[in-house]
């Protein structure tokens, strides 16, 4: 079991509210993530995804169960060491930009962890290269697009050379172009460094890119598995307020309309491929 980079064991968390206790935001959730995986955590708004993210890096502590990261149980003592090994990117590109310029922002975590100056310069440079933002190092945040700001935020996390990167709805405030940039960056990073990624999203299109999906519903873990298996539960997912990827909905509609497609398609490219084949056969 020590192989897991991160694991939740029966984790329950309820927010303190003024009107007494309410439903737990996260209830008896267990899962484990192995090094090198890309896991998508999906669920409707308010299903407990962000709460899980906060439990992952000790912004919150579970009332029941335990959170383990790289073999250490999350506690006040292990907290800062754990945090230095995991990067986290949030939803709003503006609200996580601390530095005055791109390179200052990337250096922020390094400064906090007391990295010597010479090494800091090197790591900032390297991280900016990894997200292809090196040309923008002296730019101020208000001159960057949302997608660029998110890439800077990713660089800020990468500068710490983390083992794990968590993205909490990091693409949900971006335009399609910005989303593409961020997703492409993650994909490339995983290829070149084998980084473990947990991406939290309510967009199943994005989740389809991950190796594994964990679906949350009202604080409970609903199902877990490879995207193509999870997507087989089509109506169940739409019933929980999730939108199936466009290619899948299209496939279903075509099949209903009597077009004899053989497979379920998660990406548009694959659907288009089969349509071509279908067309040339017909």
Partner 1 sequence: MMEKMIFGRFIPGDSLVHRLDPRAKILFVFLFIGIVFVANNAIGYALLLGFTLLIVFLSKIRLYFLINGLKPIFILLIFTFLLHLFFTREGDLLFSFWIIEIYEEGLRQGIFISIRFLVLVFMTSILTLTTSPISITDGIEILLGPFKKIKLPVHELALMMSISLRFIPTLMDETGKIIKAQMARGSDIGSGPMKERIKAVVPLLIPLFVSAFKRAEDLATAMEVRGYRGGEGRTRFRQLDWRLADTLSFVLLAGLTAVLWYFRT
Ligand X SMILES: Nc1ncnc2c1ncn2[C@@H]1O[C@H](COP(=O)(O)OP(=O)(O)O)[C@@H](O)[C@H]1O
Which residues contribute to the site for partner 1 (CB under 8 A)? 57, 59, 80, 83-84, 88, 90, 92, 94-101, 103-104, 107-117, 120-121, 124, 140-142, 156-157, 160
If the CB atoms of residues 61 and 278 are measured against partner 1, the closer one turns out to be: 61
Report strand pairing: 196-201 vs 38-43. Answer: parallel
Work out whether 15 is an interface residue with ligand X (CB under 6 A): yes
Q: How far is the CB of 158 from partner 1 (least distance, A)?
A: 12
The span from the CA of 211 to the CA of 76, in Å, is: 32
Binding mask 41-70 for ligand X (x = CB under 6 A): --x-xxxxxxx-------------------
Quote the longest CA-to-CA distance of the chain.
67
- Tokens encoding 234: 């089509």
Stretch that binds ligand X, among 40-48, 87-95, 143-151, 269-277 (CB under 6 A): 40-48
**Would you say the C-alpha torsion 282, 231, 177, 104 has a positive or negative sign?**
negative
If the CB atoms of residues 110 and 200 are measured against Mg ion, the closer one turns out to be: 200
Stretch that binds ligand X, among 38-46, 103-111, 132-140, 240-248 (CB under 6 A): 38-46
Residue 273 parent element (H or E): helix 268-281
The span from the CA of 2 to the CA of 46, in Å, is: 31
If the CB atoms of residues 148 and 201 are measured against ligand X, the closer one turns out to be: 201
Q: Give, as one character, the DSSP assignment of residue 23.
A: -
Please say whether the beta carbons of 244 and 265 come within 8 A. Answer: no
Binders of Mg ion among residues 40 to 59 (CB under 5 A) are 50
- Tokens encoding 41: 């955590």
Q: Give, as one character, the DSSP assignment of residue 62.
A: -
If the CB atoms of residues 121 and 254 are measured against partner 1, the closer one turns out to be: 121
Site residues (vs Mg ion, CB under 5 A)? 50
Binding site for ligand X (CB under 6 A): 15, 17, 25, 43, 45-51
């Amino acid at each position: 079991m020590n192989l897991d980079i991160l694991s939740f064991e029966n984790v329950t968390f309820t927010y303190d509210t003024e009107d007494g206790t309410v439903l737990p935001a996260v209830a008896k959730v267990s899962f484990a993530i192995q090094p090198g995986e890309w896991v998508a955590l999906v669920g409707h708004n308010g299903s407990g995804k962000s709460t899980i993210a906060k439990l992952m890096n000790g912004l919150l502590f579970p009332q029941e169960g335990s959170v383990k990261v790289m073999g250490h149980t999350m506690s006040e003592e292990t907290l800062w060491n754990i945090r230095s090994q995991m990067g986290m990117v949030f939803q709003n590109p503006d609200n996580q930009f601390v530095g005055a310029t791109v390179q200052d922002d990337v250096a922020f975590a390094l400064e906090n962890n007391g990295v010597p100056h010479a090494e800091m310069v090197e790591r900032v440079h390297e991280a900016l290269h990894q997200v292809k933002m090196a040309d923008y190092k002296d730019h101020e945040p208000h001159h960057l697009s949302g997608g660029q700001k998110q890439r800077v935020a990713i660089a800020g996390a990468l500068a710490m050379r983390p083992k794990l990167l968590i993205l909490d709805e990091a693409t949900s405030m971006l335009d399609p172009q910005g989303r593409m940039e961020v997703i492409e960056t993650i994909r490339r990073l995983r290829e070149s460094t084998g980084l473990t990624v947990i991406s939290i999203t309510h967009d199943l299109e994005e989740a389809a890119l991950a190796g594994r999906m964990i679906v949350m519903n009202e604080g409970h873990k609903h199902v877990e598995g490879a995207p193509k298996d999870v997507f087989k539960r089509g109506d169940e997912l739409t019933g929980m307020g999730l939108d199936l990827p466009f290619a899948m909905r299209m496939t279903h509609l075509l099949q209903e309309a009597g077009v004899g497609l053989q497979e379920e398609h998660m990406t548009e490219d694959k659907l288009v491929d089969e349509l071509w084949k279908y067309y040339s056969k017909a």
